[in-house]
Amino acid sequence: MLVDRRNFLKFSALSSAFVATNSLCDGLNPLNSNEQIFYGGCPVNCQSKCMLKAHVKDGVIRHISTDDDGDDSYENRQIRACVRGRSTRYRYYNPNRLLYPLKRVGKRGEGKFKRVSWDEALSEIADKMKEIKAKYGNEAIYVNYATGTTGAMISRCTQGSWYRLLGLFGGFLRYHNSYSTAQIANGLTYFYGANVGSDILNLAHADLAVFFGSNAVETRMGGASMGYCMQEMARRGNVKIIRIDPKYPDSAIGACDEWIPIAPGTDAALVAALAYVMINENLYDKEFLDRYCVGFSKETLPQNAPENGSYMDYVLGNGDDKTPKTPEWAEAITKIQSQRIIKLAREIAGAKRCFIEQGWGPQRHQNGEQQSRAIATLACMIGSVGVLGGNTGAHAAGSSKTYDIVGLPYENPVKTSIPCFLWYEGIRLGEKMNAKEHGVKNAPNLKAPIKILFNTAGNCLTNQHANIKTTAEILENESLCELIVDINITRTHSNSYADFILPDAMHFEQDDFFRPGATYYGERPYILVAQKAVEPRGECKPVYEMCRLLANKLGGEAFEQEFTQGRSQLDWLRFIYDETRKKYEFLPSFEEIRAKGYWKASKAEKPLIALEKFRNDPENNPLKTPTGKIEIFSTKLYEMSKEWQLLPGQQINPLPVFEDVLMGARDPLRKDYPLQFYGYHYKGRTHSSFWDSPEIREINPQEILISTADAKARGIKTGDLVIAYNHIGKIRSVAKVTSRLMPGVSLTYQGAWAKFENGVDIGGCINTLTSEQPTAIAKGNGVHSVLVEIKKA
């Protein structure tokens, strides 16, 4: 589909300005002299961390506004929050907000709780912690991966108060990877030695850009974040933009010249066919591949590699499968016409500077590690790595450094680590969970099963995990995990399985710092101060205060003193900020940044070019791979392929090959479930955050998107109640028929909260339909590999 994006640019800019200057307000005059204004930020895990300002009168947040500093030229753009962040007031005063500690009174999963005192809750938790430690050791204690809020001190799964407390208590089982990026982080680490990308500012210096499944306009909507930056760089340059995606994304509107629909999970097949054309027409950068890369050709294979084990052998059909990866071969898999594949190969190879980026959608398939490595291989074939206007094929980064706020200090004596997606195997398998089957690190196997699980500001026990039914059965078994403590601001699907639910204070109810991550802004990082604006509602407490009280229960005043070191939360913020200033001496003082409410760095002097030093002098700047070069043939994966024990149908291939996988494009299950299905990150939620806000749900209702052709074949119209189902589960939602989705593919919005009636999830959570099978290499969540059928409800 061809789109004249330049006609959209002015309209797009006006639309963005309209959204950015309108806030959710209850009618009070923002300039009311009786109001006090407190600075803060939006802590949810879109990670843009946009500015919020709380307007407080009589101890109540009356409305929320955002950054209005400066002239808002692009170079001095404001850190404006999107409509989600500005709806925060509704979350503070939501009638379903947790206000008191709760203790389970029914069976796990029934959702039956009673109100208890903090003293009772923490006393029972402490007693169980001491019992489990004595019986199983500290490896039986685990803090689950979660990202509902991230700041310097407030609820989070890393480097926060729980880590400090549990570290002092003797330690806890660690985890590695993330739900967001396990496959790409592992795949590109085996490829480049790190998951590293050039920044989006390079887009203005390219003459062609190819985006694989990247949609920053919708996932990074803030005024200072990547979506705006991407559109601005497209406007400033003279770049042709092609987007390869099963769905026509919002990022394509006003910033795209062509949309090429592709069957989900088949990007590696497309890359192989592009390589076939480039090799046969001598369009690839042989000099770059020979000097900087390992394994593209026979001549660059490492020692001990198979004789016909190069990527070129695979593409030309000289490898194990004896199948040439022709455009016709790829057409049958990707559903992209062979002639368009040939034309695309010539366009990419003919560009002077080609910016290739992948979002995080392609790597969330069961073959996600291979997908990420294949797209990186495409960048190498044209030599666009380490040069201005190019990219590594990774997700774009921010130009400047991320000025990391030093975390709350802690030490964890336990070194054993599990993949975060496989926490349920830590409960179910215990000592049988091991390195070569399950990716355990720093130990051959676990010493004990997970018996205590803390879940803080997260919904990954069930809702954001995979195969909710199977996961729930594990959690319901009280003989397995003996204590589950959930810390949150509201009831979620996950905390229905808790033994205790502790009510958390929200970000305007305590002091903290926020800062964005490196892949979430353009070239101007910043730090936001979170100022306490109102008292916590009900009996809600900041996590630091919970941990202080629990420390006393665990070891009396002496242990409490060891935990606090005599510092309040504000004292610790001063400490960690002063420690941060030792790394970045140019930062303002604690008093100055607290008084102003924020700090913005000066804009970057030039774009960040990933691997530039390596490109200029590879001998003196080797990569962190075994060979010091880009490993298209991964020496580590080759060794792992001989040793690791995999599930049926899985493989570890040292080359970035296309793999057929469970519930993938060519799974025989398509006879029964013909539609590929996945959970789409969209503007109405950040993962599952904001589902608790009815006002946001009203303007972003949950839907099942189905293509015009597939809807017609099933007699489905927009607005119909439909059921998407497979052998794992059933979800019910409202249909939205759209021509922005390719035939054979359907999707729903990721993060809806599951709610079951008669075996059907009427909440519409994608993970009612997903497999809990981990990916082969990263042991990550391949939850975009799903097959379903859809019918009218």
Name which of 15-24, 191-200, 693-702, 741-750 the model is least confident about. Answer: 15-24
Pairing assessment for the beta strands 354-358 and 208-212 based on DSSP bridges: parallel
What is the mean predicted confidence (pLDDT) over 579-600?
Answer: 93
User: pLDDT category, 28, cuts 50, 70, 90?
Assistant: very low
Residue 147 to residues 131, 458, 478, 488, 625: CA-CA distances in angstroms?
Answer: 29, 6, 26, 11, 30
C-beta separation of 450 from 143 below 8 A: no
* pLDDT at residue 746 is higher than 90: yes
Query: Hey, is 357 helix, strand or coil?
Result: strand
pLDDT tens digit string along 719-735?
999 999 999 999 999 99
pLDDT tens digit string along 476-495?
999 999 999 999 999 999 99
User: pLDDT category, 398, cuts 50, 70, 90?
Assistant: low
Q: Would you state the pLDDT for residue 44?
A: 87
Q: Which helix H or strand E contains 279, and what residues bound it?
A: helix 267-280
Query: Hey, is 781 helix, strand or coil?
Result: strand
User: pLDDT category, 157, cuts 50, 70, 90?
Assistant: low
pTM for this prediction: 0.94
pLDDT tens digit string along 513-551?
987 766 667 777 889 999 999 999 999 999 999 999 999
Between the two ends of the chain, the Cα-to-Cα distance in Å is 32
C-beta separation of 528 from 136 below 8 A: no
pLDDT tens digit string along 290-304?
999 999 999 999 999
Q: Which domains does the chain have, with CATH numbers?
A: 6-92 (no CATH), 102-172+406-514+534-565 (3.40.50.740), 183-400+622-643 (3.40.228.10), 668-792 (2.40.40.20)
Name which of 2-6, 162-166, 384-388, 638-642 the model is least confident about. Answer: 2-6
pLDDT tens digit string along 336-395?
999 999 999 999 999 999 999 999 999 999 999 999 999 999 999 999 999 999 999 999
* pLDDT at residue 605 is higher than 80: no
Measured distance CA(74)–CA(516) in Å, rounded: 18
pLDDT tens digit string along 78-136?
889 988 989 999 999 999 999 999 999 999 999 999 999 999 999 999 999 999 999 99
Q: How many CA atoms lie within 13 A of 31 on its CB side?
A: 0
Exposed e or buried b for every residue in 667-683, given b needs 16+ CB within 10 A? Answer: beebeebebbbbbbbbb
Measured distance CA(734)–CA(736) in Å, rounded: 7
Q: Where are the beta strands (DSSP E) in 579-713?
A: 598-600, 630-631, 675-680, 703-707
pLDDT tens digit string along 246-285?
999 888 887 889 999 999 999 999 999 999 999 999 999 9
Q: How many CA atoms lie within 13 A of 334 on its CB side?
A: 30
